[in-house]
Amino acid sequence: MSHNIFASMRARVVQALHGVVPDLPEEVVARVEVTPAREPEHGDMATNAALVVAKAARRKPQDIAAALVAVLQADPLVAEAAVAGPGFVNLRLHADAWRRLLPVILRTGEAYGDSTAGAGVRINVEYVSANPTGPMHIGHCRGAVVGDALANLLAKVGHEVTKEFYVNDAGNQVTALAWAAYFRYLQALEVSITEADFSEIVPGGLQYRGDYLIPVGQALAAQFGASLLSADSWIGEPETWLIDVRDFTIAMMLEQITDDLAALGVVHDVFVRERDLVEQGEVHEAIARLELDGLVYRGTLEPPKGKTIDDWEPREQMLFRATAFGDDVDRPLQKSDGSFTYFANDIAYHAHKIARGFDLMIDVWGADHGGYVKRMQAATRAFGGTLDVVLCQIVHVLKGGQPLRMSKRAGTFITLRDLLDEVGPDAVRFTMLTRKSDAQMEFDIDQAVAQTRENPVFYVQYAHARCRSVLRAAGELLGAAAVAPESLAQVPLDSLENEAELALLRRLGAWPRTVEAAAAAREPHRIAFFLYDLAGDFHMLWNRGRDDSALRFLQADRPAETLARVALVAATAVAIRSGLAVMGVTPVEEMR
């Protein structure tokens, strides 16, 4: 059930258009838009209807616009219609058309803005998907927030959404992790060996030297005692301990990651483990199916030009014919040791998702995976699926006006947990959504906690707190029953006629179309900007009351007007909560 006033006006415009210009092709009508007017003098809304059909109708846009105006002026919602510019039709609605949104909003509650635009389309949103080799850091954080908010947004427009985490627990990385954990295990048992000496033993050298594995080593010692050592209390043969240590460590890391995510408010519905896919033979199955379709062959790749690779030598390998689906080159499926590449596993994973019946997959990745998009989309198309990728660009963290250079070696490595401790989950989530995800962003820690307008989190929360404050005071003045949503939904609203009040009303009316547009564009940041603007409208109204006490919400001697204003305030709070819910941010009742 949609309460989108722009959608209903569009329906009226299209109906009028059919009367004015018969036999219009569907695809032409589809381009008709009804959008909010940018300038208040232009009215409330504008439509491009006459402009987009002019060519098909073989008539001048202004003529069609004039004919539309004649029809639309008779519409009971329309106060004024006029031709403007090259053939726009500007519409000014009766104030009542806007006012009657309030009961709808109050009765709908936080579901205001929901729609059925996505009904029947199942979407899998995969995000975070970090290696379980260490704690979550800032780089993961943006993707986590964007993915989570996007999933909420898609659900709000009616999609059936699954939030999914792909655990990369099958590659060399987790073997390296096991070695690093084993070193900490030795330390926990006070086996005397230096990091340098141990690194000599590790195939490829010791990685993951961070302190975060110390508790893992202790836990291993507590769990296994000395049983992972050799008989002479020295380093055991890897085949005797590697798998146990690896699985134990992955489990602990994964638990820490999910704990950190939970602290951020991110909870996935489904975890898929790469190792399970490998062990259940799904990779072989997926590759076999590609072979059947003639999309796999043995060949030799050209070395990349302009980039010298020291030990490059031409090598024949198993390749996926990605170029058949728009990629630049065909992509390797097998390493020289015969095992599958990460890409091959990922193909199996996406085939797995397609087989589970999703109509659309959306992967949220870091910018460093940008070069991977085309091949993955090629692979999913080979399986008859559709993949959208949302790339999240790098986040630079600022503190005290200075960039924090993140370096594991220098110890200025910011974990998600550090950030949450310093800023709090709500501010982290909101701030991460104040930029388009494919643009780099600077995360200014000082700004995220600032109690001023320059901090959008504060500004929006403050607006909600003020709304709640008004509602509490109204309850004391008029009685709790009088300010219950259903009571307010029946209040006469004629007294809402101040320009600032109407501006706020119009903004509230734009919420459903904002949600739909943001979902269609996969751009959750638009929600943050809408809320910032909405908060601005509300604060402006509040400030008017500060200058002129007649404009304050609560007027002890004029209960009818007070109730109408309280209804507007209550609806504003509802819309803010509706938006914050998409972002996963908790609305506050008061500023403290």
Partner RNA sequence: GGACCCGUAGCUCAGCUGGAUAGAGCGUCGCCCUCCGAAGGCGAAGGUCGCACGUUCGAAUCGUGUCGGGUCCGCCA
* 88 near RNA (CB under 7 A): yes
Q: Which residues pair with residue 396 across a beta bridge?
A: 442
Beta bridge partners of residue 90, listed in sequence order = 46, 82
* Phi, psi (degrees; rounded to nearest 5) at 540: -60, -45
Q: With CB under 7 A as the rule, give the number of residues binding RNA.
A: 104
Binders of RNA among 290-349, rule CB under 7 A? Answer: 300-301, 303-307, 309, 311-315, 317, 328, 332, 335-337, 339, 341-343
What would the DSSP string read from start to end of 116-137? Answer: STTTT-EEEEE-----TTS--B
First to last CA, the chain: 38
Six-digit token pair at 61? 């846009």
Q: Of the candidates 122, 209, 289, 436, which one interacts with RNA according to CB under 7 A? A: 436
Q: Does 269 bind RNA (CB under 7 A)?
A: no
Q: Which of 368, 421, 476, 486 touches RNA by CB under 7 A?
A: 368
* Cross-strand pairs, 297: 319
Distance CA 27, CA 119 (A): 22
118's tokens: 């996505």
Shortest CB 108 distance to RNA, Å: 21
42 binds RNA (CB under 7 A): yes
Kindly tell me which of 236 and 349 has the beta carbon lying closer to RNA. 349
Alpha-carbon distance values, 528 to 428, 455, 460, 518 (Å): 12, 12, 9, 11
> At its nearest, how many Å lie between RNA and the CB of residue 43?
7
Contact 17/89 with Cβ under 8 angstroms? no
Rounded to a whole number of angstroms, the minimum distance from the CB of residue 319 to RNA is: 9
504-523 residues near RNA, rule: CB under 7 A: 510, 513-514, 517, 520-523
d(CA 60, CA 125): 46
Nearer to RNA, 19 or 85 (CB): 85
Cβ-in-10-Å burial (0-12, 13-18, 19+) of 592 comes to: exposed
- For residue 439, state whether it binds RNA (rule: CB under 7 A): yes
User: Is 162 or 377 the residue whose CB approaches RNA more closely?
Assistant: 377
According to the binding rule CB under 7 A, does residue 553 interact with RNA?
Answer: yes
Q: Near RNA by CB under 7 A, which window of 280-288, 377-385, 435-443, 480-488?
A: 435-443
User: Within 13 Å, how many C-alpha atoms sit on residue 39's CB side?
Assistant: 4
Contact between 472 and RNA (CB under 7 A)? no
Site for RNA contains 62 (CB under 7 A):
no
Q: Is 168 in the site for RNA (CB under 7 A)?
A: yes
Tell which positions 444-463 bind RNA, by CB under 7 A: 451-454, 462
Give the C-alpha distances (Å, rounded to integers) separating 516 from 11, 162, 184, 293, 530: 16, 19, 51, 38, 13
**What minimum distance in Å lies between the beta carbon of 214 and RNA?**
23
Q: Does 391 bind RNA (CB under 7 A)?
A: yes
Binding of residue 35 to RNA (CB under 7 A): yes
Q: Is 413 in the site for RNA (CB under 7 A)?
A: no
Which of 442, 446, 476, 494 contacts RNA by CB under 7 A? 442
Q: Shortest distance, CB of residue 309 to RNA, whole angstroms?
A: 5
